[in-house]
Structure 1
Amino acid sequence: MKILRIISSMNPRSGGPSEGIRQLAVHMQASGHVTECLTADAADADWLAGQPLTIHALGPGRSGYAYCPAMGGWLRSHAHEYDAIIVSGLWQYHGLMARKVLTRLGIPYHVMPHGMLDPWFKHTYPLKHLKKWLYWPWAEYRVLRDAQTVIFTCEEERLLARESFWLYQCNERVTAYGTDTPPQDKERLQNVFLAQYPQLSGKRLILFLSRIHVKKGCDLLIEAFASIAAQYSDAHLLMAGPDQTGWQRELEQLAQALGIADRISWPGMLTGDMKWGAFHSSEVFCLPSHQENFGIVVAEALACGKPVLISNKVNIWREIEADRAGWVNEDSIKGTQSGLQSWLGSSVQQREEMSANAVACFNNRFRIDRVAVRLLEIINNNA
Structure 2
Amino acid sequence: MTARDQLRVLVVVPAISPVYGGPSTCSIGLAEALGRRGLQVDIVTTNAAGPRNLPVKLHQWIAESTYRLQYFRRWGRFEAKLSPGLMTWLFRHVTDYDIVHGMSVFNFPADIYCEACRRRHVPHIIHPQGMFEPWAMANKGWKKRVYFRWFKKPQLQRANVIHCLTRHETESIAALGVTTPKVIVPNGISPGSMIKGNANAFLLRYPLLANKTRLLFLHRVDPKKGLDILAASFARLHNRFPNIHLIIAGPDPVGYWSTAARFFESKGCAGAVTYTGMLTGQDKADALAAADIFVAPSYSEGFSMSVLEAMAAGLPSVITTGCNFPEAAEAKVALEVPIDATAFAEALASLIGDLPAACAMGQRAREFIFQNYTWDQAARKTHEVYTAVLNHQPIPYQSDMPVTETRELERRAV
TM-score, structure 2 length as denominator?
0.84
Q: What is the CA-CA distance between 1:47 and the residue it aligns to?
A: 5.5
SS state at 1:208 partner: strand
CA distance in 1, matches of 2:366, 2:8: 32
State whether residues 16 and 24 of structure 2, in contact with CA within 8 Å, keep that contact through their aligned partners in structure 1.
Answer: yes
1:29 matched to which residue of 2? Answer: 35
State whether residues 154 and 177 of structure 1, in contact with CA within 8 Å, keep that contact through their aligned partners in structure 2.
Answer: no
State whether residues 119 and 160 of structure 1, in contact with CA within 8 Å, keep that contact through their aligned partners in structure 2.
Answer: yes
Alpha-carbon displacement from aligned partner over 1:57-82 (angstroms, at most 9, x marks no partner): 22314534333233232012222332
Counterpart pick for 2:73 among 59, 65, 72: 59
State whether residues 165 and 185 of structure 2, in contact with CA within 8 Å, keep that contact through their aligned partners in structure 1.
Answer: yes
CA distance in 2, matches of 1:36, 1:15: 21
CA distance in 1, matches of 2:292, 2:81: 39
State whether residues 145 and 171 of structure 1, in contact with CA within 8 Å, keep that contact through their aligned partners in structure 2.
Answer: no
Q: Which amino acid aligns with 1:340?
A: L
**Do structure 1's residue 333 and structure 2's residue 341 form an aligned pair?**
yes
SS state at 1:309 partner: strand
Counterpart pick for 2:89 among 65, 71, 74: 74
Q: Give the structure, 1 or 2, with the largest relative contact order (CA under 8 Å, sep 6 or more).
A: 2
SS state at 2:126 partner: strand
- 1:1-383 alignment, distance < 5 Å: 1-41=7-47, 45-46=53-54, 48=56, 52=64, 54-61=68-75, 63-122=78-137, 124-125=138-139, 128-163=140-175, 165-166=176-177, 168-181=178-191, 186=196, 189-316=198-325, 318-346=326-354, 348=356, 350-381=357-388, 383=396
State whether residues 182 and 303 of structure 1, in contact with CA within 8 Å, keep that contact through their aligned partners in structure 2.
Answer: no
SS state at 1:293 partner: coil
Moved over 4 A (4+): 49-53, 182-186
Between 36-45 and 286-295, the greater mean CA deviation after superposition: 36-45
Alpha-carbon displacement from aligned partner over 1:4-29 (angstroms, at most 9, x marks no partner): 11122122111212111112223333
Q: What is the CA-CA distance between 1:347 and the residue it aligns to?
A: 5.0
Unaligned runs of at least 5 residues, structure 1: none
State whether residues 153 and 174 of structure 1, in contact with CA within 8 Å, keep that contact through their aligned partners in structure 2.
Answer: yes
Q: Against the structure 1 CA distance between its residues 51 and 304, is the aligned structure 2 distance closer, same or farther, given a 3 Å change threshold?
A: farther
State whether residues 237 and 263 of structure 1, in contact with CA within 8 Å, keep that contact through their aligned partners in structure 2.
Answer: yes
Alpha-carbon displacement from aligned partner over 1:159-185 (angstroms, at most 9, x marks no partner): 12223x34x221211113211127667
TM-score, structure 1 length as denominator?
0.90
State whether residues 42 and 58 of structure 1, in contact with CA within 8 Å, keep that contact through their aligned partners in structure 2.
Answer: no
Q: What is the CA-CA distance between 1:117 and the residue it aligns to?
A: 1.0
Alpha-carbon displacement from aligned partner over 1:132-164 (angstroms, at most 9, x marks no partner): 23222442112211111111012121112223x
SS state at 2:217 partner: strand
Q: Against the structure 1 CA distance between its residues 377 and 48, is the aligned structure 2 distance closer, same or farther, given a 3 Å change threshold?
A: farther
CA distance in 1, matches of 2:146, 2:292: 46
Q: Which amino acid aligns with 1:71?
A: L
Q: Against the structure 1 CA distance between its residues 130 and 240, is the aligned structure 2 distance closer, same or farther, given a 3 Å change threshold?
A: same
Q: What is the CA-CA distance between 1:212 and the residue it aligns to?
A: 0.8
Q: Give aligned pairs, total.
A: 375
SS state at 2:136 partner: helix
State whether residues 189 and 375 of structure 2, in contact with CA within 8 Å, keep that contact through their aligned partners in structure 1.
Answer: yes
Q: Which amino acid aligns with 2:330?
A: A
- Superposed CA RMSD: 2.3
State whether residues 195 and 281 of structure 2, in contact with CA within 8 Å, keep that contact through their aligned partners in structure 1.
Answer: no
CA distance in 2, matches of 1:369, 1:242: 28
Q: Calculate percent identity across the aligned residue pairs.
A: 24
CA distance in 2, matches of 1:33, 1:72: 24
CA distance in 1, matches of 2:208, 2:193: 24
CA distance in 2, matches of 1:58, 1:181: 31
Q: Against the structure 1 CA distance between its residues 270 and 34, is the aligned structure 2 distance closer, same or farther, given a 3 Å change threshold?
A: farther
SS state at 2:89 partner: helix
State whether residues 323 and 357 of structure 1, in contact with CA within 8 Å, keep that contact through their aligned partners in structure 2.
Answer: no
Q: Against the structure 1 CA distance between its residues 86 and 218, is the aligned structure 2 distance closer, same or farther, given a 3 Å change threshold?
A: same
SS state at 2:105 partner: coil
Q: Against the structure 1 CA distance between its residues 11 and 51, is the aligned structure 2 distance closer, same or farther, given a 3 Å change threshold?
A: farther
CA distance in 1, matches of 2:206, 2:341: 28
